[in-house]
A and B are shown apart, each in its own frame.
Chain A
Amino acid sequence: MKILVCISHVPDTTSKINFVENNTKFDTAGVQFIIGPYDDYALARAIELKESSGATVTVLNVGLAETEPTIRKALAIGADDAIRVNAHPTDSYFVATQIAEHAKGYDLILMGRESIDYNTGVVHSMVGEMLGLPSVSPVMKLDIDGTTVKMQREIEGGKESVEATLPLVAGCQEPIAEWKIPNMRGIMSARTKPLNVVEPKAVDAAVQFQKYELPPPKGAVKMISEDNVAELVTLLKNEAKVL
């Protein structure tokens, strides 16, 4: 079985979000970049499947050269090889088009339910539609039995059991697998694993980015004594008007 895991290269979850150049560029100063947390779950499940059933795992990232340390980390975690589509991931349609271009021939195409920068949660579904494959998201459990894939999908207030056959696209989230931390041997071997850089397919832009905005700053907190809980209720009613 051939598994493709698509990973995003995103700011660490503790990053301060700021913008520069008239709010048109993300401020990378002091920011650590990581494999998207949801993509990391997808990768962890792929590695489990590799260990249990001898699958091969390829990771794919759409990004410029700066994303290579993130890709190498995925290789250190256990992926066999990698593809970097050499382009800035401008929007979900662009990224989905690039993934679809390289996903043919894979049995299982995994990625996170959403990237934590744009949070659109649509790339897996777009790729599925582009390739005419079933796509399921957000998947919290995924088991393969022959060509049947049994999954659990989270829905509002519960979960659904879903079945489909390979090939298939899935957007993953916890608890599909536990995040894996690369060990020393993994880190050493990642250096020599193949990382193929390919040029992007030309795409007619579906959307044109204009600028970023930050929300207005939050006002100061009002502290209330634990002996005067009734005052909180009054404030919630009359001041905040939320009760």
Chain B
Amino acid sequence: MAILVFIESAEGKIKKTSLEAVAYAHAMGDKVSAIALGTVDKGELEAVGKYGAAKVLSVADERLNQGVIKAYASVLAQAMEAEGADTLVLANSSLGTPVAASVAIKVNASLASNAVELPNTSGGFVVKQSIYTGKAFALVDMKKQKKVIGIKKNAVELKEVGGNAEVAAFSANLSDADFATKITNTEKATGEILLPEAEIVVSGGRGMKGPEHWGMLEDLAKELGAATGCSKPVSDIGWRPHHEHVGQTGVKVAPQLYIAIGISGAIQHLAGVNSSKCIVVINKDPEAPFFKAADYGIVGDAFTVVPKLTEAIKAGK
């Protein structure tokens, strides 16, 4: 049995969550090949070997520099066939998740999404999936011979296990139908730490009073190397862009540290942050429900506490 891992890149770098997918496949104990679509630097691809891929297939087709879901799914299905892989592993993302679903139908595989642990193969092939927006888990047995597994951030610990991988070119047959959906424009923050991938998130709520006060949160985020997030009303009013909205109906984050500032802690917001390792809450209301979900809390006015915190972090460096 062989495993194929789809690795995504952003701004020329393989995403950390994709490296986790490689580590996950490696820990499953079978032969692992990875596959990258579009133009990615060879050195980046070779380095994927460190996490357990013996080989990396590179599909250097320029049309794949954009994440065209259908075309990606066609390439992956063909690569599974060519590699004799019966399992595809990838990181859940805005691209990975729909691609996984299409591949599962194409190759007649069982599909699991948001896997949080390695499969238990002691009696079947049981995967633990995060459900109810992180509030629970479901254990499901993947019945079909072929399997597609989408993993959630932090499903495995990332550690180096090997050296460079061999990089091999792979070409797939793609039809016009594969490109029927056209991406006409991409607007993407560059050089920023992406919220879903961030290890530290600084998030602000309505308690910040207005977009003009976000500089304070950005200073703190910069000091910490963090991404910025916000509550739903904040993006609804347009203080912050929509892709920063955290919660049940927004981005689900799983950082090491989540700092919530002027956010009350409504259950729908908590649903998006409950996979964080450590939560810090800064709120002027000691009764704010967020404190019940926090590891550390400070009762105080954000406008005085946040600059102090930024200074304390600078001082502690």
Interface string of B173-200 (1 = CB under 8 A from A): 0000100111111111100101111001
Q: Which of B102, B186, B192, B236 contacts A125 (CB 8 A)?
A: B102
B152 shortest CB reach to chain A, Å: 10
Q: Which of A123, A129, A161, A242 contacts B256 (CB 8 A)?
A: A242
| Contact call A174/B98, Cβ cutoff below 8 A | no
Interface string of A56-96 (1 = CB under 8 A from B): 00000000000000000000000000000000000111001
Which residues of A from 210 to 241 have beta carbons under 8 Å from B?
Answer: 210-215, 218-219, 221-226, 229-230, 232-237, 240
Given contacts A119-B130, A126-B101, contact A158 B188 (CB under 8 A): yes
| Contact call A213/B139, Cβ cutoff below 8 A | yes
A198 shortest CB reach to chain B, Å: 22
Interface string of B222-240 (1 = CB under 8 A from A): 0010000000000010000
Indicate if B141 sits at the interface (CB-CB under 8 A).
yes
| Contact call B136/A155, Cβ cutoff below 8 A | no
B154 shortest CB reach to chain A, Å: 13
| Majority DSSP secondary structure for residues of A touching B | mixed
Indicate if B126 sits at the interface (CB-CB under 8 A).
yes
Indicate if A32 sits at the interface (CB-CB under 8 A).
no
Chain B contacts for A212, CB-based, 8 A:
131, 136-139
Nearest CB in chain B to that of A126: its residue: B101
Chain A contacts for B248, CB-based, 8 A:
13, 37, 116
| Contact call B137/A154, Cβ cutoff below 8 A | no
Q: Which of A207, A218, A240 contacts B143 (CB 8 A)?
A: A207
| Contact call A129/B304, Cβ cutoff below 8 A | no
Interface string of B123-152 (1 = CB under 8 A from A): 010101111111111111111100000000
| Contact call A156/B181, Cβ cutoff below 8 A | no
Chain A contacts for B93, CB-based, 8 A:
156
| Contact call A157/B132, Cβ cutoff below 8 A | no
Indicate if A121 sits at the interface (CB-CB under 8 A).
yes
Which of A101-109, A162-170, A183-191 forms part of the interface with chain B? A162-170
Distance A19 CA – B137 CA, assembled complex (angstroms)? 11
Indicate if A45 sits at the interface (CB-CB under 8 A).
no
Chain A contacts for B132, CB-based, 8 A:
11, 17, 116-117, 119
Tally A residues with Cβ within 8 Å of B. 79
Chain A contacts for B85, CB-based, 8 A:
none
| Contact call A129/B106, Cβ cutoff below 8 A | yes
| Contact call B143/A122, Cβ cutoff below 8 A | no
Q: Which of A156, A160, A224, A236 contacts B183 (CB 8 A)?
A: A160
| Contact call B185/A161, Cβ cutoff below 8 A | yes
Distance A210 CA – B137 CA, assembled complex (angstroms)? 11
Distance A40 CA – B195 CA, assembled complex (angstroms)? 25
Query: How many Cβ-Cβ contacts under 8 Å join chain A to chain B?
Result: 262
| Contact call A162/B182, Cβ cutoff below 8 A | yes
Distance A96 CA – B305 CA, assembled complex (angstroms)? 50
Q: Which of B10, B295, B308, B315 contacts A219 (CB 8 A)?
A: B295
Distance A224 CA – B186 CA, assembled complex (angstroms)? 43
Distance A19 CA – B182 CA, assembled complex (angstroms)? 44
Q: Which of A163, A206, A218, A229 contacts B184 (CB 8 A)?
A: A163
Indicate if A136 sits at the interface (CB-CB under 8 A).
yes
Indicate if B60 sits at the interface (CB-CB under 8 A).
no
Indicate if A9 sits at the interface (CB-CB under 8 A).
no
Chain A contacts for B296, CB-based, 8 A:
221-224, 232, 235-236, 240
Interface centre among A13, A120, A173, by most B CB within 10 Å?
A120
Indicate if A134 sits at the interface (CB-CB under 8 A).
yes
Given contacts A118-B131, A226-B299, contact A236 B278 (CB under 8 A): yes
For this complex, 7 residue pairs linking A to B, each with C-beta atoms less than 8 Å apart, are A13-B248, A118-B131, A120-B111, A128-B102, A156-B94, A157-B189, A242-B256
Which 5 pairs between the two chains have the least Cβ-Cβ distance? A226-B300, A158-B188, A125-B101, A122-B101, A129-B105
